[in-house]
Chain A
């Protein structure tokens, strides 16, 4: 095997890792995934899906895959979801029992760290791995398969309803650059329902590389909100692969505030008739931040709906990227899919690349897509100022109004309030000054 230079540290680390007490099937899958990673190497700008992403921050340093022991102290307050939850906290890629509080889970609900699950219910961990890890074109997901040691697993038996939100906090402590590979699984049985809030936050110039598999069976419903508020030096890549069954409903929202370089890949396959998807998000970027939201929605069954809205606020020299692809297979008649990406540029040096795409192979469908890039409305700004509101506050009001619009579909209200709170906190931190 020819080892590509940038993959070398990871390939070597894999050779040295101690996987002796792991089951054979897992060792085999890890090896296959690593081979795929070594083979593909880092994505390059020649690949359409990576054309706008500048991977240099990842190439400049090595990020050895080292997890903590889950014991680093952490003040959770800033990231606690108000109200009662089932809480699982990971610190530096490893579950921290002292900070977690799963509470009483109803019958039929399974929530545990991936490491524990591997011991108790290895089939669930196997379900979190996919064929594509060993052969697909997501090299970082393959890398994750090779190295993951922890994460979370949520599995609901049919008709199980979780009243309280599940709250997962992925926290990182400061320290030398390293990578955390977390592998998560959400499996909702027929007719089951859950609310899931994930937060990624912390300090340091580490690399979070997370992969989550989501399986929603017939009639299941998941409200899934994510906040990425990592440090301004951190790298954050997340791949979410969702399979949404017949009459199931998946609502996803991702709020990107942190990270020097971040990327969310959301792959959703609507593979049962009448499945409903809301795929929304907002990204607020400043300084030198670059963030990509890449969504790939595959309408594989008839009568499914997609509502997709991503809003971007880009300040200073930051760079926002939106890639949105919706494909409608020939058998997916009566598809109803709408996608929109709107951006607000707050500085002359801020940039946005947006690429909404539709590929429609069925003939009886209702589909639309669009993208806008604009500046703050000067007339509105002036109007607010004539009422005595200072320029900075007036700008914040308008930016918040623009971004908060994307939050409208987030439910329940506690999750919306949580995200709105962090959005406001971002606004309170201010721009660099100088347009």
Chain B
């Protein structure tokens, strides 16, 4: 599904943030990426989703066999890649429903499916809203505008549930959630687990992984994956921290 080889990326000031990332995620798998603050986790998510401001200097990313880095951000989304933002963006004046319908319909067009009219869309929305216990009022508001931290995160997962991506990258979607919200979000993620779908969870906490059990856990430090293991690695990190990997 996703094959990252020797990925190097730098920011405008020339600083290299990714420094040879190697990561292979197979269909149906859930991988967790953990690592200290500033180690490059969001940068990796940004590079995978096509965020401007990063220059890939070396390496490659294959997604379903195609060169992901050659696609525009919106083409990546239409190809099935989804990024849940660590800091979802507020967009005043753009209605959440209107936005989501435009998004869903552009994905459907790309797949050759018919566009949903307002009624059909509403029906689809209702089902997923229940899942995440999101109130109707949130949908009537502008995208993320004035949403609480937790509401923003839930809105990201709600979008993911609506857009049904093939590869979902979730950047600290669990941060800032209370325990009930965390369960809801984890439930939403688990519902989407499927043999033809892969997920990359960026997180700092074991507690998400108690609900969404990963197939693999990786430690990203200094812009590289310095250790990989099974789910027990997360528990070990929780106990001992990253000290052992700082030197990397």
Contact = CB atoms under 8 A, between A and B. Distances in A.
Interface of A: 377-380, 382-391, 393-394, 397-398, 400-402, 404-405
Nearest to B159: A387
B70 interface: no
A378 B106 CA distance: 20
A397 B93 CA distance: 9
A166 to B, nearest CB: 30
A303 to B, nearest CB: 32
A398 B102 CA distance: 13
B213 interface: no
Interface of B: 49-52, 72-74, 76-78, 82-83, 85, 88-94, 99-100, 102-103, 106-107, 110, 142-143, 159, 163
Contacts, number: 80
Given A387-B100, A387-B163, A388-B78, 15 more contacts: A380-B89, A380-B91, A382-B73, A385-B77, A386-B77, A387-B74, A387-B103, A388-B103, A389-B102, A390-B74, A394-B74, A398-B91, A398-B93, A401-B142, A402-B93
A108 to B, nearest CB: 41
The list of the 6 closest CB pairs from A to B, nearest first, reads: A401-B93, A388-B77, A387-B103, A383-B89, A385-B73, A385-B74
Nearest to A383: B89
B52 A386 contact: no
Nearest to B107: A388
B103 A389 contact: yes
Contacts of A386: 49-50, 73-74, 76-77, 82-83, 85
A295 to B, nearest CB: 23
A389 B47 CA distance: 18
B103 A383 contact: no
Contacts of B163: 387-388
A381 B184 CA distance: 29
B13 to A, nearest CB: 18
Contacts of A405: 92-93
Contact of B92 (A385, A393, A401): A401
Contacts of B90: 380
A118 B82 CA distance: 68
Contacts of B83: 386
B36 to A, nearest CB: 25
A76 B46 CA distance: 50
A389 B106 contact: yes
Contact of A383 (B72, B91, B102, B110): B91
Nearest to A390: B74
A378 B88 CA distance: 13
A393 B93 contact: no
Contact of A398 (B51, B94, B159): B94
A401 B94 contact: yes
A384 B72 contact: no
Contacts of A390: 74, 106
Given A384-B91, A388-B77, A388-B107, A397 B52 contact: no
A65 to B, nearest CB: 43
Given A401-B92, A405-B93, A391 B72 contact: yes
A33 B163 CA distance: 66
B106 A393 contact: yes
Contacts of B82: 386
Given A380-B91, A401-B91, A388 B85 contact: no
30 contacts: A377-B89, A380-B89, A380-B90, A380-B94, A382-B50, A382-B52, A382-B89, A383-B88, A383-B91, A384-B91, A384-B103, A385-B50, A385-B77, A386-B50, A386-B76, A386-B83, A387-B74, A388-B77, A388-B107, A389-B74, A389-B77, A389-B102, A391-B74, A397-B99, A400-B93, A401-B93, A401-B94, A402-B93, A404-B93, A405-B92
A382 B51 contact: yes
Contacts of A377: 89, 91
B242 to A, nearest CB: 29
A428 to B, nearest CB: 14
Contacts of A382: 50-52, 73, 89
A385 B93 contact: no
A389 B102 CA distance: 7
Contacts of B99: 384, 387, 389, 397
B227 to A, nearest CB: 29
Nearest to B87: A379
A377 B143 CA distance: 14
Contacts of B92: 401, 405
Contacts of A394: 74
Nearest to B79: A388
B74 A388 contact: yes
Most buried by B among A379, A380, A383: A383
Contacts of A389: 74, 77, 99, 102-103, 106
A299 to B, nearest CB: 31
Most buried by A among B82, B106, B142: B106
Contacts of A404: 93
B139 to A, nearest CB: 15
A375 to B, nearest CB: 13
